[in-house]
Amino acid sequence: MSFVTHLECSYTGERYEAGRVHGLSAAGKPLLVRYDLGSLSKMITKDALAQRTDGFWRYREFLPVVKPENRITLGEVVTPLIRLNHAEKAAGVTGEIIVKDEGRLPTGSFKARGLALAVSMAKELGLGHLAMPTNGNAGAAMAAYASAAGMKTTIFCPDDTPQVNVEEIALQGGDVYRVNGLINDCGKIVGEGKEKAGWFDVSTLKEPYRIEGKKTMGLELAEQLGWELPDAIFYPTGGGTGLIGMWKAFEELEAIGWIGSKRPKMIAVQAAGCAPIVKAWEEDAEHAPLWENAWTAAAGIRVPIAVGDFLILRAVRESNGFAIAIEENEIFEARDAIARDEGLLLCPEGAATYAAYRQSLKDGRVSKSDRVILFNCATGLKYPLEGKTGFIDRTKAIDYTRF
C-alpha cells in the first residue's frame, strides 16, 4: 500500500501522475513525491513504529513503494548515534556532539538509502537497465541493489575515483567505466546515452525516489532523539540529496503532528576546493554555477554543479543555517583527531563536518550549549589510509623498555 497522491515539480509546483516513469520535470527541475499525510497518519503510530526492526524500511508508510515484494533489502540497520565525549570535553561544550554513522549501512555508506528506493521503484515501474555517474559510493550502492533486483547497471566514474570503490562496483555486478573528467562529465555521458543505449538515468535528483530514501535519515534521526530535533545538523554536501530529503521529512512529520515547528539549522559543509553552494549562499544567489577546476580528496563532495542547488539553499536559509567551506588539511586533521581520540574512523566527508563544527563554534555560529549532529556518510575504510607503524624482528632480542 502507498499513500502517494502525485509528484510535483520542486520549482513550479506542476503536478505529475504517480505510478509512471519520471525523470526531471518539464522545467528541468527535480520532482518531489507528495503523500496523503492525513490518511498516512491514521495507519501508523509512534508506538507501532517502535516495534519494527527492518532498518529504514520501517518507515514504509512514508515511502512510495506499493508492493512489498518490490522492496529490495540488503539487511539495512538503524544507524547509531555516537557521542564524541572526548571532543566535547576538549571544546568545553555543555551541549552534545553526536555523529550519525551511516557507514554501518549496506555497501558502507548512506547512498544505500537513496539507491534502495530508486532501485525498488525502478523494479516496480518495470525498468531493467539503470545508469548513473558516481564518485564511488553511489555507484556501489546502485550496483548492489540492482544486482539483488536482477537489473543491469552501467556506471561511470571520474578516473581518480578510489580503486576500492571501482572494484566494489564491478564485483557487485555493475559495468563500470572510468572517465577522464569529473562527475558532471560522467553525467553528460549518462544523459546522452538515455536514448542511444536505452538506460534510465538515476543521476542525483534526476529521478524522484533517491530523495525519498535519503528522507529516512530525517525520520530516523527524529525517532532516535525521541521526536525532538537537534539544534544543528552538519551535512557533507555534494548533490545535497540528504539535506533536501531530511528537510522534507521534517515537514511531513510536522504535518502529521509527530513533531513541532522547531527546526535544526541545516549546515551545508563543502570542501574549499569545490564549494559552489557556499559561494551561492554567501552571494545570496538562488542557484550555484559550475565550480571550475573542482578538487578535493573528499570525493563524495566533489560535485561542481548540483541540479538541486536551489533546494539545498532553500533549506539552509529557511532553517537559519549556513554553508561553510573547509580547507583540505583541516578535513584530514579532523579525521585523524576523531580516530585517535574517539576510536571512530570517519570518511573524509564526515570528517569535514567535524572540522566545520569546530570552525563554527569558534566563530560563534553555533553555541557550546547546542546539540549538534554530524553526518558521517561512509566508512572510513573505503579511503586511502596512512598510519604510523613500527616493526619488530622476532629473531632478535626485543627491548621491552621501548614500549
Confidence of residue 7 (pLDDT cuts 50, 70, 90): very high
Tens of pLDDT along 106-122?
999 999 999 999 999 99
Q: What is the pLDDT of residue 329?
A: 97
Cα 13-18-240 angle, rounded to 5 deg: 60
DSSP 3-state of 113? helix
Secondary structure, 3-state, 156-178: EEECCCCHHHHHHHHHCCCEEEE
pLDDT at 387 over 90: no
Percent of the chain's residues with pLDDT above 90: 97
Query: Cα separation of 101 and 79, whole Å?
Result: 6
Please provide the average confidence, as pLDDT, over all residues in the chain: 96
Residue 313 has, within 13 A of its CA and on its CB side, a CA count of: 21
Quick one: how far is CA 220 from the chain centroid?
13
Tens of pLDDT along 146-161?
999 999 999 999 999 9
Smallest CA-to-CA distance from 9 within 315, 215, 310 is with: 310
Percent of the chain's residues with pLDDT above 70: 100
Q: Give the pTM.
A: 0.95
Confidence of residue 340 (pLDDT cuts 50, 70, 90): very high
Mean pLDDT across 366-387:
94
Exposed/middle/buried for 332, CB within 10 Å: 0-12, 13-18, 19+?
Answer: middle
Name beta bridge partners: 56. Answer: none
- Identity at 210, one-letter amino acid code: R
Q: What is the pLDDT of residue 384?
A: 86
pLDDT at 215 over 90: yes
CB 73 within 8 A of CB 54: yes
Least confident of 205-214, 323-332, 387-396: 387-396
- Identity at 287, one-letter amino acid code: H
Q: How far is CA 36 from CA 40, 47, 207, 248, in A?
A: 6, 21, 21, 14
DSSP 3-state of 269? strand
Which secondary structure element, helix H or strand E, spans residue 310, and what is its range?
helix 309-318
- DSSP label at residue 240: -
Query: Cα separation of 184 and 239, whole Å?
Result: 11
Confidence of residue 222 (pLDDT cuts 50, 70, 90): very high
Tens of pLDDT along 13-45?
999 999 999 999 999 999 999 999 999 999 999
Query: Cα separation of 353 and 268, whole Å?
Result: 9
Query: Cα separation of 84 and 25, whole Å?
Result: 42
Longest dimension (CA), the chain: 78
Residues contacting 301, CB < 8 A, separation 6+: 236, 237, 238, 269, 270, 271, 274, 349, 352
pLDDT at 388 over 90: no
φ, ψ at 26 (rounded to 5°)? -60, -25
Count of C-beta atoms within a 10 Å radius of residue 82: 17
Query: Cα separation of 383 and 346, whole Å?
Result: 10
Tens of pLDDT along 40-87?
999 999 999 999 999 999 999 999 999 999 999 999 999 999 999 999
Ordered by where they begin, the domains of the chain are: 81-106+209-382 (3.40.50.1100)
Residue 72 has, within 13 A of its CA and on its CB side, a CA count of: 26
What the block records as the C-alpha cell of 261 is 515547528
pLDDT at 1 over 90: no
